[in-house]
Chains A and B, each alone.
Chain A
Amino acid sequence: MSMSIDPSEPTPPGGVPEDAALPDEAVLPAGAALPEEAALPEDTVLAEESAVPDVEADLDSTDAVTQDAPAARAAPPAAWHTLVRALRPRVTRAQVLTAVLCGVLGFAVVAQVRLTHDTSLSTLRQSDLVGILDQATRQADELQREAAALEQTRQELESGSNSRQAALDAATRSAATQGILTGRLPAEGPGIVVTLTEPDGSIRALTLLNFLEELRNAGAEAVQLNDLRLTASSYFVTSAAGDGVVVDGTALQAPYRWIVIGDADTMATALDIPGGALASVRNDGGRGSVLRKELVTVTATRSVPVPVNATPVLPKG
């Protein structure tokens, strides 16, 4: 039970009685004021048996036990009592000193916490800085490589989408052209409007067919007769009643109003030639008037049947 200090012990730094002057001054609990020399042997045994039976028993250093044992034996209230008494505000040297040290500690903790919060590179060691720089460089390299790869991918996609766009445009144009030619789409453009009138249904189907052929020869691109779109498969039949014609299954009667898109001058001239289409109409007893227009609109459409037997031949190549 010497009062010497064993450096290996994890004794509290504030609690190690570093010299013999301790018990007399300072703030000691009542229990500690016992005559220690007399009580020592039993206390030590008791303390080791009851108060601190676990592994941490060695924490209670040999010299601390001399004072510790009575306090430990005095049951919980003693410890709490000590704590409460220490908390009671009294202006003693120990209290003021502790307060000052606690204040310093609080100040330092706050300063450090602030420092840690706005961690700047200036607080780091040189080796750490080198490591961070190295890492940052590596990361930048990696990101650059990634950026290059992504850029390449983007260009590939862009050119891909360009060619796809071109193909789409071509397909769209082709679809538009074919849509107009097959009568699937409405169309507009320069052209003529021809109105054929007759007093008594005397214009024959053959005359109208010739009329259409004449228009085609003159370069007509889209033709509408009354509300019907005329295409390559259109046909003209004299109606059974004899007062009109049947075009593509629909009975039509005068006046026949043709809306034709194409070169207006060519078509008008072609219709007007002697012995031509208009002459035939006049021979049938009808009248015709041709109106050239900057813009005519063919609104009528017809649905194109899907070919049942014919399939396209894929271009070889």
Chain B
Amino acid sequence: MIAVLGLVIGVVAGLLFEPTVPVSLQPYLPIAVVAALDALFGGLRALLDGIFDDRVFLVSFLSNVVVAALIVFLGDQLGVGSQLSTGVVVVLGIRIFSNAAAIRRHLFKA
């Protein structure tokens, strides 16, 4: 419940403060968001698996975000930024789907 509350507060804060993303971060934010979503789903799955650990969740969340942004940054430097972004999004998307499948199996046994 607190987590949901936190999400709502974050969204509201985003709507209220109308943050402007620094130009240097703009290419990485979408990837970071997708990575964070992946971490969130992973955490939910771990919770249902009964192995949820806040420390692991925190570390995985942050490392996911950082690594994803890093990969895109590296891709930008190498001149394959857009392709690598696509690749990262695809991989993270697959992980999100598999986690969602695991969660679904837990909740609906199907």
By a beta-carbon cutoff of 8 Å, the part of chain A in contact with chain B is: 10-18, 22-23, 25-29, 31-32, 51-52, 56, 59-60, 64, 67-68, 70-72, 75-76, 79-80, 82-83, 86-91, 93-112, 114-116, 122-123, 125, 127-128
Tell me the complex Cα distance, A108–B60, Å: 17
Answer whether residue B57 sits at the interface, using C-beta atoms and an 8 A cutoff.
yes
For residue B10, which residues in chain A have a CB less than 8 angstroms away from its CB? 102-110
Contact B21 A112 (CB under 8 A): yes
Tell me the complex Cα distance, A299–B101, Å: 96
Size class of the contact patch on chain B: 35 or more
B81-101 residues with Cβ-Cβ distance < 8 A to A are: 81-82, 94-95, 98-99, 101
Cβ-closest chain B residue relative to A51: B105
For residue B54, which residues in chain A have a CB less than 8 angstroms away from its CB? 26-27, 93-94, 97-98
Contact B57 A95 (CB under 8 A): no
Answer whether residue B48 sits at the interface, using C-beta atoms and an 8 A cutoff.
yes
By a beta-carbon cutoff of 8 Å, the part of chain B in contact with chain A is: 1-11, 13-15, 18-19, 21, 23, 26-27, 29-30, 32-33, 36-61, 63-64, 76, 79, 81-82, 94-95, 98-99, 101-102, 105-109
Contact B14 A106 (CB under 8 A): yes
Question: Nearest Cβ distance between residue A91 and chain B, in whole angstroms?
Answer: 7
Contact B95 A104 (CB under 8 A): no
Contact A101 B61 (CB under 8 A): yes
Set B13, B18, B42, B105: member contacting A14, Cβ < 8 A = B42
Set A17, A22, A95, A123: member contacting B27, Cβ < 8 A = A123
Question: Nearest Cβ distance between residue B67 and chain A, in whole angstroms?
Answer: 10
How many inter-chain contacts with C-beta < 8 Å in the A-B complex? Answer: 232
Tell me the complex Cα distance, A61–B6, Å: 30
Tell me the complex Cα distance, A13–B99, Å: 10
Question: Nearest Cβ distance between residue A34 and chain B, in whole angstroms?
Answer: 10
Known: A89-B1, A91-B2, A98-B43. A115 touches B52 (CB 8 A): no
Cβ-closest chain B residue relative to A97: B54
For residue B94, which residues in chain A have a CB less than 8 angstroms away from its CB? 10
Contact B107 A79 (CB under 8 A): yes
Known: A67-B50, A94-B54. A111 touches B21 (CB 8 A): yes
Set A11, A17, A29, A100: member contacting B6, Cβ < 8 A = A100
